[in-house]
Structure 1
Amino acid sequence: MDEDLLAARFDADRGHLRAVAYRMLGSLSEAEDAVQEAWFRLSRSDTSDVRNLSGWLTTVVGRVCLDLLRSRAARREDPLEHYVPDPVVREEGVADPEKEALRADSVGLALLVVLETLTPAERLAFVLHDMFAVSFDEIAPLVDRTPAAARQLASRARRRVRGAAPAPGPGLARQREVVDAFLAASRGGDFEGLLAVLDPDVVLRADGGTRLGAASKLVRGAETVTAQALTFARFRHASRPVVVNGAAGLVSLADGRPVGLMAFTIAGDRIVEIDIVADPERLASLGLTG
């Protein structure tokens, strides 16, 4: 295939490939690296006999991501319980087709957190099959297993996801009402008001990265989270609503610089999970402005 035609064909699949890589890795920068590596492999390969180039590229990205996940697992030093995957953030009321393709309703931060607990092979089997309808016959060679064994990997992952990921929540407008009530109670020091909007088993996860490691924490239970109300102090002033992975969120800025991002997972009318990114380096990469 002509190089220009090949490049155009790859660009047509780029959004899909970034979505696959983001779900596999939970990292925007690594997802970009994986897609770029897929292009390098495509440009060096003879694909004249490939009937389904999109499917071929999807499995190439899957293989690249699997290698990255295995490498990450071998070198990980930070506690996984504090880790918040990279959020996809957009301004409320502003459409961003590129970010929408990455986001989708099926990839909220809470789900990405659960995916982090899977083994690399389980994650690949689940993401490729359950999210992108890749057959187990195609997945099996990637994980060096039979199709039946690949099916079992996806099944194990599915059980863990179902047991840990929150049920789908209300629409964005209702989410925003709940978040506004949370913010008002937080600003006013209204502990009873906070308890009213928090699920009894709510989980708060804060990721301060390497520079603010002391800010990293995992807190469970409505009363315990309420007792951590000072954690929300940075959101009391100069905070504004944003959409984080399709759900209601808040960003706090100081002198036009983001100092915190709070994402909410809501089921019914209660907040079941709060994920906070306080890592200055990662916040700076999100492109948020005052």
Structure 2
Amino acid sequence: MVEDEWLTERFEEDRPRLRAVAFRMLGSVSEADDAVQEAWLRLHRTDVTGVHNLGGWLTTVVGRVCLDMLRSRTARREEPLDARLPETAGASADGPEHEALLADSVGVALLVVLETLTPAERFALVLHDMFAVPYREIAPILDRTPSATKMLASRARRRIQSADGIPDTDPVRKEHIVRAFLAASRDGDFDELLALLHPDAVLRADRTAMQMGAKAELSGATGIARRLSGHAQAARPALVDGAAGAAWTTGGTIRVVFAFTIAGGEITAIDIIADPEHVARLDVDFLPHHPPAGDDPRNAR
């Protein structure tokens, strides 16, 4: 009985994130809720006493369920996402987490592009770029090697970056680009960093960040990618004054903010802000679905 109560409590804590995973995968609120409900049923049919990371396990289960639903949808040749959009736009909110889920509807254009991907491409891209699931954990689900899974996500990422009809003002697309950049930086994926950066991109640091070891300015995608490859382990995606960015904290205090400038689907500038007074003036809201962040400032540069 106590164990059932604990599982229920843990599942409810993870429910907003699981619904967000499912919504990004399926583009439908009702289908996302169905996927989360199926994960709940599987949780109660499975002995999870040996599972050390229940949140990760649940994310994988929801991902598997969504993958099956996408494949079934493809087999039935269902109508495309844009024919179902009124459902997401007009759904009634039943709580804060539901309202947060529906906020993704501002990225309708991105969801339409995601719909053009194969189920495997969409699965790899969403779980890795948006929810920081490592390729090595995604690969077995797709019956592929980690390298092949990485290639799937890369192909999907390039298709999104080059897609027509998604304006640079789309906040969800910009958030996706920042998340992809952070994931590529953490993974040490030099080629992906280059693909996300404009050739003439610039990396700038304020005086405080320079005192922490950052260079005042670094120009060119190659130099920036080389500098950041394998770093940003502690950076968490965030909205910085309402725009997609990142930040890291120590002891619950925001120490460094990364402000991204994005145009044409590419990152044209990254500003590293570490001056305490400047940071205090910024409105920083951390985004959900991030992995636990470390506190080593060297990993945030």
Displacement of 1:116 in angstroms is 0.5
| Identity between Structure 1 and Structure 2 (%) | 63
Q: Size of the alignment, in residue pairs?
A: 171
Alignment check: 8 A CA contact 1:22 1:28 kept: yes
- TM-score relative to the length of structure 2: 0.51
Displacement of 1:147 in angstroms is 0.6
2:149 counterpart of 1:150: yes
Tell me, in whole angstroms, the C-alpha distance in 2 between the residues paired with 1:31 and 1:69.
Answer: 11
2:98 counterpart of 1:99: yes
Which residue in 2 is equivalent to 1:83?
83
Q: Secondary structure at the match of 1:2?
A: helix
Which residue in 2 is equivalent to 1:38?
39
Tell me, in whole angstroms, the C-alpha distance in 2 between the residues paired with 1:6 and 1:129.
Answer: 26
Distance 1:168 1:87, change over 3 A: farther
Q: Following superposition of structure 1 onto structure 2, how do residues 9-158 of structure 1 map, counting pairs within 5 Å?
A: 9-78=10-79, 80=80, 83-85=83-85, 86-88=87-89, 97-103=96-102, 108-158=107-157
Tell me, in whole angstroms, the C-alpha distance in 2 between the residues paired with 1:89 and 1:26.
Answer: 13
Q: CA RMSD in A?
A: 3.0
Tell me, in whole angstroms, the C-alpha distance in 2 between the residues paired with 1:170 and 1:157.
Answer: 18
Of structures 1 and 2, the one with the larger relative CO (CA 8 A, separation 6+) is: 1
- TM-score relative to the length of structure 1: 0.53
Tell me, in whole angstroms, the C-alpha distance in 2 between the residues paired with 1:19 and 1:140.
Answer: 21
Displacement of 1:167 in angstroms is 3.9
Distance 1:84 1:168, change over 3 A: farther
Alignment check: 8 A CA contact 2:88 2:105 kept: no
User: What is the letter of the counterpart of residue 120 of structure 1?
Assistant: P
Displacement of 1:32 in angstroms is 0.6
Query: What CA deviation, in whole Å up to 9, does each residue of 1:246-280 have, x standing for no partner?
Result: 9xxxxxxxxxxxxxxxxxxxx99xxxxxxxxxxxx
Distance 1:89 1:70, change over 3 A: same
Alignment check: 8 A CA contact 1:137 1:147 kept: yes
Is there any run of 5+ residues in structure 1 with no aligned partner, and where? 172-245, 247-266, 269-290
Is there any run of 5+ residues in structure 2 with no aligned partner, and where? 172-241, 243-262, 265-301
Tell me, in whole angstroms, the C-alpha distance in 2 between the residues paired with 1:88 and 1:138.
Answer: 33
Displacement of 1:4 in angstroms is 1.1
Alignment check: 8 A CA contact 1:23 1:112 kept: yes
List structure 1 segments (4+ residues) > 6 angstroms apart after TM superposition: none
